[in-house]
């Protein structure tokens, strides 16, 4: 996106980030924690497990493991394991750092070749360490969805993503850090003594759908040793300029907008990547405490503050941060739309978070690029309902991938 794009496009991109939420329900810990003023943005000490100061030789190595607590565990899993592993900093592309995540293994007899492995990519939880799913747990819909796959015999590995739980600021919505974190946790579990397959399918919803797509896109160059065989993306976000303008026009700046909580999170990526950016120069004095609360508060509670204050865009900002946001927004896209593996795209016809036209634009452009896309429209389902509502199709898709069947796709007959 060029700098000449009008600010309303950028504002729309941020307002559209409701497409990326998972609305976390805290499972085992409070949603806020006191932090020293000198701490890195979002950092707090969770437990000794997340702290790692030894030299890291290479990405994709398992550093340690321990059992999850009962509230952090997922129904349907015979083993619930917290992981710490090494990965590459997705922002600078060079530094090796520790990242946390989990592995859920199904119950029952281990099949020949191990349990077929799936990599879950989670949605928005916040940037504070306490919001890391391996520590804070998952919303009920995610727990139910992972249980579905576990009950069908699939192992599930899930990264917290760079900077969530571990040291450093989580680069919110930046796709390369999420992709590297996902690929390296797959490497870690496949190279350790876990009974999982050497092939993996990616799957995610909303922001997680974007992360799954990004992981598939980065895999051939960053991790050619990882055998990604396909991806499932429901409610995938794709921010084209035309769609963003339409979204902005639908959300006037002088009306209450609960989506402003996502603006606060997006500004942390600006802070993370531009040390010259000063938050108080752009956010109004009255709203600054809410904007800063993302450092130690999970997203659902930041959003509750926005709702309680009935914030409007005009009240929240005293100066446009457009130039900074355009730069940050450039880190949220996909490096290519020509995927080397089949992608299942499930779209709810009543999705107001990632509207059908947005997902149609992604699907059509991926098809034009030569990707194999299986696109299914569920006319009566909304953004959240499409997750359980699509499993009748996604289960068959995933089974076909692991069976090595040829996936044809339907680019010549899309449902839009």
Secondary structure (DSSP) of 351-394: -SSS-HHHHHHHHHHHHHTT--EEEEEETT--TTTHHHHTHHHH
Does residue 186 contact residue 157 with C-beta atoms inside 8 Å? yes
Can you give the pLDDT of all 416 residues of the chain as single tens digits? 333 333 344 444 444 444 454 433 333 333 444 433 334 788 889 999 999 999 998 999 999 999 999 999 999 999 999 999 999 999 999 999 999 999 999 999 999 999 999 999 999 899 999 999 999 999 999 999 999 999 999 999 999 999 999 999 999 989 999 999 999 999 999 999 899 999 999 999 998 999 999 999 999 999 999 999 999 999 998 875 555 555 555 567 888 888 888 888 889 988 888 888 899 999 999 999 999 999 999 999 999 999 999 999 899 999 887 778 777 777 888 999 999 999 999 999 999 888 899 899 999 999 999 999 999 999 999 999 999 999 999 999 999 999 999 999 999 999 99
Query: Distance between CA 367 and CA 338 in Å, rounded?
Result: 8
Reported as half-sphere exposure (CB side, CA atoms, 13 A), residue 205 has a value of 24
Q: What distance lies between CA 128 and its chain's CA centroid? A: 15
3-class secondary-structure state, position 27: coil
Query: Distance between CA 101 and CA 283 in Å, rounded?
Result: 33
Long-range contacts of 268-271 (CB under 8 A, 24+ apart): 268/41, 268/42, 268/127, 268/169, 268/170, 268/172, 268/294, 268/295, 269/171, 269/172, 269/173, 269/174, 269/328, 269/331, 270/321, 270/324, 270/325, 270/327, 270/328, 271/41, 271/169
Phi and psi at residue 63, to the nearest 5°: -95, -40
Does residue 188 contact residue 85 with C-beta atoms inside 8 Å? yes
Q: Residue 86 pairs with which residues in a beta bridge?
A: 98
3-class secondary-structure state, position 294: helix
Class of domain 18-239+331-407: alpha beta
- Cα–Cα distances in angstroms (integers) from residue 319 to residues 7, 260, 402, in the given order: 12, 15, 52
What DSSP line would sit under 235-292, residue for residue?
A: S-----HHHHHHHHHTS-TTSB-TTHHHHHHHHHHHHHH-TT--GGGTB-TTTHHHHH
Phi and psi at residue 350, to the nearest 5°: -105, 20
pLDDT for the residue numbered 33: 41
Q: Residue 202 pairs with which residues in a beta bridge?
A: 119, 231
Q: So where are the chain's domains?
A: 18-239+331-407
Stated pTM of the model: 0.90
Q: Is 148 left (phi over 0), alpha (psi -120 to 50) or beta?
A: alpha
Q: Is the dihedral of CA 300, 277, 207, 33 positive or negative?
A: negative
Does residue 61 contact residue 146 with C-beta atoms inside 8 Å? no
Phi and psi at residue 197, to the nearest 5°: -70, 165
* Antiparallel, parallel or unpaired: β 115-121 and 155-159: parallel
Overall residue count recorded for the chain in this entry = 416
């Amino acid at each position: 996106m060029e700098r000449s794009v009008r600010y309303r496009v950028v504002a729309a991109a941020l307002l559209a980030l409701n497409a990326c939420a998972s609305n976390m329900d805290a499972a085992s810990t409070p949603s806020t924690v006191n932090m020293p003023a000198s701490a890195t943005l979002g950092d707090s000490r969770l437990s000794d497990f997340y702290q790692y100061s030894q030299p890291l030789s290479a990405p994709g190595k398992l550093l340690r493991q321990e059992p999850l607590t009962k509230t952090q565990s997922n129904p349907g899993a015979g083993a619930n394991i917290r992981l710490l592993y090494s990965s590459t900093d997705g922002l600078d592309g060079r530094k090796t750092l520790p990242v946390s995540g989990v592995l859920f293994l199904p119950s029952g007899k281990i099949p020949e070749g191990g349990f077929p492995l799936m990599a879950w990519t989670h949605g928005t939880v916040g940037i504070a360490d306490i919001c890391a799913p391996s520590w804070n747990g998952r919303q009920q819909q995610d727990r139910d969805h992972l249980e579905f796959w576990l009950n069908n015999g699939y192992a599930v590995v899930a990264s917290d993503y760079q900077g969530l739980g571990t040291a450093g600021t989580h680069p919110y919505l930046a796709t390369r850090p999420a992709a590297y974190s996902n690929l390296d946790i797959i490497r870690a579990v496949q190279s350790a003594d876990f009974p999982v397959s050497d092939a993996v399918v990616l799957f995610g919803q909303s922001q997680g759908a974007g992360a799954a797509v990004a992981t598939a896109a980065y895999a051939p160059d960053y991790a050619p040793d990882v055998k990604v065989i396909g991806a499932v993306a429901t409610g995938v976000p794709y921010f084209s300029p035309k769609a963003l303008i339409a979204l902005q026009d639908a959300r006037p700046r002088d009306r209450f907008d609960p989506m402003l909580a996502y603006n606060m999170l997006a500004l942390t990526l600006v802070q993370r990547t531009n040390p010259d950016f000063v938050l108080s120069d752009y956010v109004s004095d009255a709203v600054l405490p809410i904007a800063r609360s993302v450092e130690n508060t999970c997203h659902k509670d930041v959003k509750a503050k926005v709702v309680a204050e009935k914030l409007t865009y005009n009240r929240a900002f005293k100066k446009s941060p457009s130039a900074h946001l355009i730069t940050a927004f450039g880190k949220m896209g996909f490096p290519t739309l020509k995927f080397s593996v089949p992608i299942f795209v499930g779209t709810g016809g009543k999705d107001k978070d990632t509207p059908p036209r947005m997902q149609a634009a992604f699907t059509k452009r991926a098809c034009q690029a030569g990707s194999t896309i299986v696109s299914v429209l569920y006319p009566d389902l909304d953004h959240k309902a499409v997750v359980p509502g699509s499993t009748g199709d996604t289960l068959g898709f995933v089974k076909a991938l692991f069976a090595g069947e040829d996936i044809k796709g339907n680019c010549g007959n899309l449902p839009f």
